[in-house]
Structure 1
Amino acid sequence: MLDRQVQRAKRTETSRTPEAAGTGRAAAGTVIVAERYVPGLVRAVANKLEGGASRFYRKHYGIGLSEWHILVALAADPWITSPVLCKNAGLDKAAVSRSLARMEEQGLVLSRDTSGRSRATALTAKGRRLHDRIAAAAVAREEQLLADFSPKQVDSLVGLLTALSKAAAGLTDSPQKVARKKKAA
């Protein structure tokens, strides 16, 4: 129990008004300690990675991140419909629609009608060549990012990020308190 309280104290601290700080009395509320707040740290890392990648892909390949995510999704699973593409690329419907229109004009993808109101999309040969060129650069950027990590640390990081993603998918809108599971050492 004490260990959990110490961990929580490291992550948050009681806010203090300037007047209360001198008296030692805590003000109402909690202040998030940015250096220990996991959602904030993940967001900061994601913003840095996405900003750098976006500039890099636009400068060297003439496409943005949305188009890159679509290229990746279509390379892995050709002739998929927009709802599946949205899910696989992690993009919303409007972003996918706009990006597909641009990519079709550039000759990177082509679409065809499927049963019902859906359209399926796949990469053209030009789109596949662009994907392959960018994929090589993306892997090189990842290697640069992880250069100071051991293979064991990379495996741990991937495992933790996968677990964090699953936990994030399970978050609810209710502000219930959840006790962290104790890990056996």
Structure 2
Amino acid sequence: MAWFFLAHVTVPNISTVMFYYQTEFLKLDASFLGTARVVGWLGLMFGTFIYNRYLKTMKLRRILLLAQLGLSLLSQLDIVLVSRINVSFGVSDKVMVLGGSALADAVNQLKFMPFLILSGQLCPPGIEGTLFALFMSINNLGSTLGSFVGAGLASLLNISSGSFDNLLLGISIQILCNFIPIAFLFLIPKEATGISA
């Protein structure tokens, strides 16, 4: 639980700033962004399938390491979008947003599944619901604090709904921060896998 909390808190969440960038600068409408969320949920289901099919025998530390590296790599799609490189290659903003949303949600699911498996293995019988509620509370607290860190970063860099001049710098800082949780992987049991004990 500590690792997942730290993974949220140490990476600034600037998704709200990206939402404003997508609606105000790129002029993407709300219905399209709703569609992007649906595609993201499909990515979650895809991530669950991939985990169950191919990764449940892999060590959890390795899965979480690869997930963090994957999230860092996918965050670079935001750099491509904000720097408008995609337009120079003829890739539409909508394709970038849809693809980035689905892939990021799939990788986040790959990150989430191992913890659920590990929790089930370590949990004493009869308190599974309590443990899951505790985990979700800690996970949501970490996510909320990560959003506060992201808001603080946006404020520090003077990024707002009308000013996106430093958004590339903010995304770059977010990408670098994606490597911080890797330093805390020692908190995950070394030999743990997704196979029930």
Larger Rg: 1
Q: TM-score, length-normalised on structure 1?
A: 0.25
